[in-house]
Amino acid sequence: MEKFEKLTGIAAPMPLVNIDTDMIIPKVFLKTIKRSGLGVNLFDEMRYDRQGNEIPDFVLNKPQYRDTQILVAGDNFGCGSSREHAPWAIADFGIKCVISTSFADIFYNNCFKNGILPIVMPQEVVDVLMKDAEKGSNARMVVDLEAQTVTTSDGESFPFEVDAFKKHCLLEGLDDIGLTMAHVKDIDAYEAKMAQERPWV
């Protein structure tokens, strides 16, 4: 998993509340177990019409937001079913940070496991960030995980809280497999010991 340290990128405003995982990635695209290739179908039913053509008014279809790396969203983002494909699609599109007033618990935790930083901010701060995101590609936000701050294009900085262990994992680029592999020497030693003590197992 790629390390997350400091991100400077375009932020897209998506003020809708209760964006659920089916809106993020519709169930028809859940047949794959690959993490790649889902970005094209992120927010599929909002991005495309029934003929598969882009809907020009949708924020991620606008030229200034095609390279979005930060999403500023409405309350209760990622609610609904607990599909891991949702953060997979977000990450595959290129979004590395989602800012909202609240997240569904399972989605929130899945983000960290897939290299995405979900940030919870008070409504008044999200309002400021949303307004800044509306400026388009000329307005770049800075998300500093080490310092735990989000800075607007105008230089206004806001602190955020994040669990220390989750922060460590993102800074080091450690997903569940990476955390396990960090203890590979201990695991190998244990397996060798068990082979000696219980060769019948």
Q: pTM of the entire structure?
A: 0.87
Residue 41 lies in a domain: yes
How many structural domains compose the chain? 1
Residue 99 lies in a domain: yes
Residue 65 lies in a domain: yes
pLDDT in tens, 47-96: 999 999 999 999 999 999 999 999 999 999 999 988 889 999 999 999 99
Task: Return left, alpha or beta for 116; rule: phi > 0 is left, psi -120 to 50 is alpha, else beta.
Answer: beta
Residue 118 lies in a domain: yes
Residue 56 lies in a domain: yes
Residues 47/55, Cβ–Cβ less than 8 Å = yes
Residues of the chain with pLDDT > 90: what percent? 75
Domain that holds residue 73: 6-197
Residue 1 lies in a domain: no
| Three-class secondary structure of residue 154 per DSSP | coil
What CATH number is attached to the domain comprising 151?
Answer: 3.20.19.10
Comparing 183 with 52, which gets the higher pLDDT? 52
